[in-house]
Structure 1
Amino acid sequence: MEHGVFPMKPSSSEVQEPPPLFLQNIAMFIELGQISALGNMSGSNTTTLYFHQHFPTSNNVLNRYQMETFISHMKKYGSEVGLEFNLINEKRFPPASLQNFLAASSDIPGVLLADHGSQYVNRYYHSIMDDGQELNYKYQNGSELSTNSVQKLIANLSYTLAQTIYCLINSTGRCDEPKVPEPDADAQLVDELLHCYLDTMDCPVFRAAANKPSLDSKRASLYVGVNGWSNPIARLTGLTLALLINQTVNRTKEKCHDDDSDRVFKYIWMGSSSIDSDSSGFCIKTTMNFSLAVSPAFYDIPDYDWASGRYSTWTESVWREMTVRMFLKPSRSHENLTFSLGVVVLSLSFLIVYFANSRSHILFGNTLVTSSC
């Protein structure tokens, strides 16, 4: 963003493309951190979330008013769906993506919304063990969801955040019309999405987005750290976003492709207009696009000082070939049986040797057989 190449690098040709975004275009930074229902295991109808806020160092009155208005609306709409918000008034800001933006410009007002105040609730956040079992997630497949489920929490938070953002950007000041969809209906969609990310990629939402009758049934790998390695979940996420927020256009499957003179909109052929539909497909027009998350140190900065540490330059090993040697560990009973048989055989061998040695004069006689010359 500092160099004007986000969301994409401007081209020299005369094509329609989205305008570049800069740091000064950010009016407010809203980040969602750890969001789970693990802190509400008592079954209460109210879930408490926490605001970690950063006020700009310039003490801009407009920015402070916008931050206070945002928090006020979040509390207002959150109370409608059983959400409470506590403010964490500490000078230290927790680890978050906002830290990278503040390093470039400390005048950006921002807030981190999480399920914890000072200590993590999810001990395995962003690790290989951060799975559905740890989040107490169970796929309901259209059944009624409990009030303290993670599906309900995400749906209620989405409703609250969407209503608040609409109110902030609505220049007319009318915040209640049009109203965003009710969270009860969205909770079923959240249940389906979590099923795709936490259980299996062969789910109705991903099949509709990818326009395929079936996908790999294994659990999705959410690690996307290596540039040059295409992770299926990244593409499926983009297609799902395009499926959920799209504009249907009247194009055939053969003509449903991107225009060379337009880099703003993409045209994608989807499998169905809804998750449960059996239609042959339709063409959508979307602004969804993919941007490489590459450190600025690796491009467009001549004579960059690699020792400065300004931009991340970490690398990681990639194994093109991998081999595995497996050593099977027997059961406890099998180990005991093997050990017992070994002790018995060892004891018998000692007894046989002792018996043969003590009675060697009987078994073998005292006469030495000599050969005649």
Structure 2
Amino acid sequence: MAPVASLFSLYLVILFISYLSNNSVECVRTKKKIYLDLVTQNACFRVLNATHQVGCSSKSGGNVGVLHYLEGQDDYDWVLKDGPHTPYVVLINSEDFHREKVQQLFKSGRVNGILVVNVLNNSTLTPLPPNGFSADKDCPNDNYGAYYKNDSYKHCKSVKWNKPGEALYFNDYHDFPMFAISNISDLNILIDQCYRPFNQPGNGVAKTYPICAVELSDSMDAAKDSITCIRRSELITNLNPTKYCDAMGDKNIISTIKAIPQNVPRPAKSVIVVATRMDSISMFGYEYQNSDTTVTGIVALLAAAQALKQVKDDLRAATSDLMFTFFQGEAFDYIGSSRMVYDMELNHFPYDITDNSSLQLQNIHLNHISHFIELSQLGHRDQDQLWIHSDPISKEIPAISDEVKKLIDIIKPIGEKLNVSLGETAADQPLPPASVQRFLRKMAIPSIVITDHQKQYTNKYYNSRFDLPRNINADYPPTLNDTEKYDYITEQAVSLTNIATTLARFLYKQTTGKQLTPDLENKIQADEKEIAHLLYCFLESPVCELFKQSVSPEDNKNLASAKKPFPFYVGVDYQTNQITRLAHSILAQYLGDRMVNITKEADCKQPDNDKRYKYLWMQGSLKPGTTDTREGWCIKSTAMLHKAKSPAFDIDDYDWLSGEYSTWTESTWTVTKVRAFLIPSESQEVLTLCVGLALFIVSLGIVYFFNASSDIIFLSTNTASDTPPS
């Protein structure tokens, strides 16, 4: 027992010393002393289709390189030719981040990754590229629209819509990570604490060690193409199968004015579709600034729906029905619209009716659609006009041409009264990229697309992180606080108010056939203040009163934690993104009815005998005299979510190379991170190794000494323990 007691005493001494040390010295993990982790998570990631992988991925253990800030041509020469400390990770300014420069760095063999300065609220640090920037193609969705087989119009032979488009997003940067540095503190660390003190050459001479390096990690799990990825994901090799990628998709939003039950026939050519898209792409995750690309269309369509609220009874009594539609996944080869067309052809839209014991909405087929009106980009008026585009191929049918002319003849004078000038594009000019093209692939429909451009996009930053509110006059004076910004009427809010009012009055007249009297015009008027609120919530901050009243109590926690506008990226199909949920709730408010007699969430549900309406419980407005207690609203409406997942993933034995449907998937990954650290010289590394080995040998000697001499060292203790009591 004596040796045990001695060892226990020694253990107590060590424990006591450790306790004193912990109370006098702050313990820090060794890793944190070596690495400086950045906040930045905005990585370029990998997506795949049936034939390719595109986007970025680091090596499995991350990519390491010496940081170099590319401020001028001398810095490019240093990194690409002269610098001795290869490989490099470069920090590049926003103006230099374009295809030519990126390809030059990627192919050099001397660069291991790119960091892009992306502090968008600082025009000095991140000036807008003067010639525009778009990571999308110059002919978006080229092979999946209405003209994919037409020799005159395919590949944008007539008009290159997105002139700044360099298709940077659609290149494969294998083992070459890229991150956007959006946090100014991260930028200061990289430039002022890493590059300038340790790496910046002086008079063409490299600095000596230590030097500052950066590690970029965003290793992607998927590889090659969607076909390979899905096959690998479906292989069951253990009890926990690994998923390498997910089908891209989300939910479309639809709402009809009428609630026609399945036992009542729906007349042919009786549904007017009015639509817009909701999504976009960007090179970097969490960087989806879409002021003109998507938000102007979303806001205008929501505002038009609200403007028609007072005349819903007239619309319900009309022969025609009106269907508001918000498509998701359109940036990735028309995912949402192609799904809707597919379901209509199968008689599954808006859902597959399998139970006739309760009332459900009558299905809508393609032949039920009488007209299709689509809103696209509306923020940059070309020649101070909006432009009406129509399809030259379907107009070869006289009846279609006549209907298109009627649509134009109705909407133009309505717009003129509201200072909305609407021009017509050339008769032989094809439609720009638009969701209606997926419908026109199947049948000729009288259709128009309303945009802010006559030919090529007036938006120089289409589908890019530079599509900012200030570019469409939707920004705010710097002196305003958040409350003042929320109610501030920007120039764009005024413009969209007139557009939404024009659209609402046009839809009323087209649906009902009635003339617009002064009384009706007073009723059908978009709310300028509400449009200001929508712009603020989508573009400035989602932590706003409109969004707060539109979410459920459960979703409010996610809303309250939002630090920046929600992304407009479609995401993967198994989850519904925030933009979709919020737009759905707002549309339900605008077109539906509040059930004032229902005051509890548990009571806000569909009756068993009538499934035509959806019931949504949302927080509602603040109770009078309170700052944190909300009324709770039960909204009954026809607004619903419809699957926006490519049919390619649901069709058995689908021909993945047919080009009929979108095949985009998103790779899975484990972690994305950026961290900086110092690299010592080789001599210092050798010295550190030698000192470590020496300490190890000395430690072995001490342990051996104590072990061999334990009987002598602990003799007095042992003797005392063995002496019998007197």
Q: For this structure pair, what is the TM-score category when the shorter chain's length is used for normalisation?
A: 0.7 to 0.9
Q: Give 2:662's aligned residue.
A: 312
Select the structure that is richer in strand: 2
Q: Give 2:364's aligned residue.
A: 21
CA offsets 1:255-279 (integer angstroms, 9 cap, x no match): 1123344332112223336999966
CA offsets 1:187-213 (integer angstroms, 9 cap, x no match): 211110111111111111100111557
AA aligned to 1:286 is S
* 2:543 aligned to which of 182, 202, 207: 202
Residues 388 and 449 in structure 2, CA contact (< 8 A), matched pair in contact too: yes
SS of 1:326 mapped into structure 2 = strand
CA 1:115–1:38 in 2, change beyond 3 Å: closer, same or farther? Answer: closer
CA distance in 2, matches of 1:36, 1:121: 9
Which segment drifts farther, 161-170 or 56-65?
56-65
Residues 246 and 284 in structure 1, CA contact (< 8 A), matched pair in contact too: yes
CA 1:70–1:274 in 2, change beyond 3 Å: closer, same or farther? Answer: farther
CA distance in 2, matches of 1:133, 1:277: 36
Q: Give 2:529's aligned residue.
A: 188
Task: Structure 1: state its 5+ residue gaps.
Answer: 41-46, 330-373
2:169 counterpart of 1:169 = no
* 1:326 aligned to which of 665, 675, 679: 675
CA offsets 1:214-236 (integer angstroms, 9 cap, x no match): 62332211112311133222111
2:354 counterpart of 1:11 = yes
Q: Report the CA distance between 1:59 and its aligned residue.
A: 4.5
CA distance in 2, matches of 1:182, 1:77: 12
* 2:415 aligned to which of 68, 74, 78: 78
Residues 163 and 180 in structure 1, CA contact (< 8 A), matched pair in contact too: no
Q: Give 2:440's aligned residue.
A: 102
SS of 1:113 mapped into structure 2 = strand
CA distance in 1, matches of 2:520, 2:664: 46
Q: Give 1:262's aligned residue.
A: 610
Residues 392 and 430 in structure 2, CA contact (< 8 A), matched pair in contact too: no
SS of 1:18 mapped into structure 2 = coil
CA distance in 2, matches of 1:274, 1:65: 51
Q: Give 2:487's aligned residue.
A: 142
CA distance in 2, matches of 1:268, 1:127: 34
Q: Give 2:431's aligned residue.
A: 93
CA 1:131–1:318 in 2, change beyond 3 Å: closer, same or farther? Answer: farther
Which segment drifts farther, 304-313 or 79-88?
304-313
Residues 50 and 114 in structure 1, CA contact (< 8 A), matched pair in contact too: yes
SS of 1:259 mapped into structure 2 = coil
SS of 1:137 mapped into structure 2 = coil
Residues 30 and 111 in structure 1, CA contact (< 8 A), matched pair in contact too: yes
Select the structure that is richer in helix: 2
Q: Give 1:117's aligned residue.
A: 454
CA offsets 1:83-139 (integer angstroms, 9 cap, x no match): 11111113422211122111112x112111110111211122233332323333125
Q: What's the TM-score, normalizing by structure 1?
A: 0.76
SS of 1:83 mapped into structure 2 = coil
Q: Report the CA distance between 1:156 and its aligned residue.
A: 0.8
CA distance in 2, matches of 1:206, 1:117: 34
CA offsets 1:134-181 (integer angstroms, 9 cap, x no match): 3331254334x36xx11112111111111111111114x333353364
CA distance in 1, matches of 2:560, 2:351: 30
CA distance in 2, matches of 1:34, 1:96: 10
CA distance in 1, matches of 2:448, 2:673: 45
Q: Give 2:620's aligned residue.
A: 272
Residues 30 and 112 in structure 1, CA contact (< 8 A), matched pair in contact too: yes
Q: Give 1:221's aligned residue.
A: 567
SS of 1:316 mapped into structure 2 = strand
AA aligned to 1:113 is I
CA distance in 1, matches of 2:633, 2:673: 45
CA 1:50–1:202 in 2, change beyond 3 Å: closer, same or farther? Answer: same
CA offsets 1:24-61 (integer angstroms, 9 cap, x no match): 11111111111104657xxxxxx411111125637554
Q: What's the TM-score, normalizing by structure 2?
A: 0.41
CA distance in 1, matches of 2:623, 2:606: 24
CA 1:310–1:72 in 2, change beyond 3 Å: closer, same or farther? Answer: same
Q: Report the CA distance between 1:237 and its aligned residue.
A: 1.4
AA aligned to 2:441 is A
CA 1:83–1:229 in 2, change beyond 3 Å: closer, same or farther? Answer: same
2:635 counterpart of 1:292 = no
Determine which structure has greater relative contact order: mean sequence separation of CA pairs < 8 Å that are 6+ residues apart, divided by chain length.
Answer: 2
CA 1:273–1:178 in 2, change beyond 3 Å: closer, same or farther? Answer: farther
* 1:53 aligned to which of 390, 401, 405: 390
* 1:30 aligned to which of 369, 373, 391: 373
AA aligned to 2:346 is H
Residues 224 and 234 in structure 1, CA contact (< 8 A), matched pair in contact too: no
CA distance in 2, matches of 1:59, 1:311: 26
CA 1:19–1:55 in 2, change beyond 3 Å: closer, same or farther? Answer: farther
Q: Give 2:36's aligned residue.
A: none
CA 1:255–1:277 in 2, change beyond 3 Å: closer, same or farther? Answer: farther
Identity %: 31
